[in-house]
Amino acid sequence: MSLNLSRYLSHHLSLSLLTVMTFPLLLSACGGSSSSDGKTPLLSISGTAATGMAIANADISAKCRSGTGSAKTGSDGSYQVSVPNGTLPCVLEVTNPADGKKLHAISINGSLANITPLTELLSTRLMRVDMATVFSSFDADAIAKSVTSASIKTAQGDVTTVLKGIIDTSTLADFYSTPLKPATSSNPGGGDAQDKLLDSLKAKLTGTQFTQTLTLLSKAEAIGQPLANPDATFAPTLEIQPANVRLAVGTAQSFSAAINYPKNTYYLRQPVNWKVLETDGGSIDLNGRYTAPATPGVYHVKLQRDDFPNLSVQATVTVEASSNFNFIPELKVPQKTLTLAAGARYHFSASINYAPHVFYLVEPIAWSVVEADGGSFNLPSPADFALGDIGMYYSAPLKPGVYHVKVQRTDYPDLNAVIEVTVQ
């Protein structure tokens, strides 16, 4: 899902394009219509400009293979631009009086052309550069080469994939020519379903995030697909957080994924997917938010990388009856400070309590040394087990100093204690 920019620029040098923020495609052409003098053919382009609210009283400009035109939007964002002797393709630009930002659209077949943030994303994906540059450095041949009926369909699918988990655009069949009725200053609640999508997009993506999405749409070779040519020297990693969680029936928990990225690789979204392994084990959405089932039990959430499908990890979810959540977990250690001789071996132990009706095969305690050179832990020997010793044995380092041993409950990861060890 990456794109080498230098390769991209050399391949598209004739475009002379590369910048940041613009919008949708398509214009409505009334072929064969005439000007007021009855002789000059006119290309008529119409549509609606909106961002969730109509872009009213805004300047619209059109650049076409032959001819240019301009107009102003109405109070409902509607517009109609006439281009004398105009021929397709055309690029439209609207300047929003509210914030001075420019949005764009492209028309290759004379269809209705809305100008919205969704069409800006789509146009950027089609041209793979900033649409402001496409407009200022208009190149009809480059547009005709990059924008076809097939590429529009593919690009819209890419935008839908990128926005997955933010807004669902799958119900909008055509970003460009689907009739749009936006909210207006006189009727702020009067927008249609497409207008509500634009409202949601504005609410969920900041201006910076929107610009970042445009930039990534211009760079990524593939959206939501494994890397075609992964770097053989790159070692992908994947971690699920938290790895163990305890929930009451019917409650929710958000999981997160920690991954690394190959050099010069760009992702429009984190390339991972989530799944609950048990059919009755609850549900999880695209963003990793898990909802526990109504039945207590032990379930598992699987996290898998899309770009490296062989790499996956799991989290364990223990779902319990709500009554158990009156339980207050404890973790106690005999002492918080300790002095040892260099290289000495010491037996650490901790005591914990258990929720009613909860059983563990292995005591949910983990021991670790905070400092990298602060000594090490070893499991008890068979002789220790025979004596009932299930604690952990610590070997102090040979270098004198002050070190720290950490003990943590794995069933309640936030519950831990730190013991200071002075080695003499």
For the chain, give the mean pLDDT: 84
To which residue do tokens 């993506």 refer? 205
- Tell me the C-alpha to C-alpha distance, in Å, between residue 202 and each of 166, 167, 285, 369, 375: 10, 10, 21, 47, 53
Q: What is the pLDDT of residue 215?
A: 86
What pLDDT, on the 0 to 100 scale, is given for residue 37?
58
Q: What is the DSSP annotation of 5-47? A: HHHHHHHTGGG----S----------TTEE-TTSSSEEEEEEE
The token pair that represents 353 in the structure block:
């309590």
Which strands make up the sheet holding 365-369, listed edge to edge?
A: 337-340, 416-423, 401-409, 365-369
In tens, the pLDDT along 37-50 reads 566 688 999 999 99
Residue 96: CA count within 13 A, CB half-sphere: 21
pLDDT of 204 > 70? The answer is: yes
What proportion of the chain, given as a percentage, has pLDDT over 90? 59
Q: Is the pLDDT of residue 184 over 80?
A: yes
H/E run at residue 346:
strand 345-348
- Is the pLDDT at 9 greater than 70? The verdict is no
Confidence (pLDDT) at 154:
93
**Average pLDDT of 100-106?**
96
- Between 354 and 362, name the one with better pLDDT: 354
Please compute the mean of the pLDDT values over residues 137-144 and round it to a whole number.
96
Is the pLDDT assigned to residue 281 strictly greater than 70?
yes
Q: Give residue-wise pLDDT tens across range 283-328.
A: 998 889 999 999 999 999 999 998 899 999 999 999 988 777 777 8
pLDDT of residue 35: 54
CA distance 347 to 377: 10
Q: How far is the C-alpha of 159 from the C-alpha of 218, rounded, in Å?
A: 11
* 36 has a pLDDT exceeding 70: no
**Contact yes or no for 104/130 (Cβ under 8 A):** no
> What integer is the mean pLDDT of 379-403?
73
At residue 269, the pLDDT reads 73
With cut-offs at 50, 70 and 90, classify the pLDDT of residue 381.
low
Q: What does the pLDDT read at residue 380?
A: 62
| Ranges 167-176, 240-249, 258-267, 298-307: which has the least confidence | 258-267
What was the pLDDT predicted at 21?
33
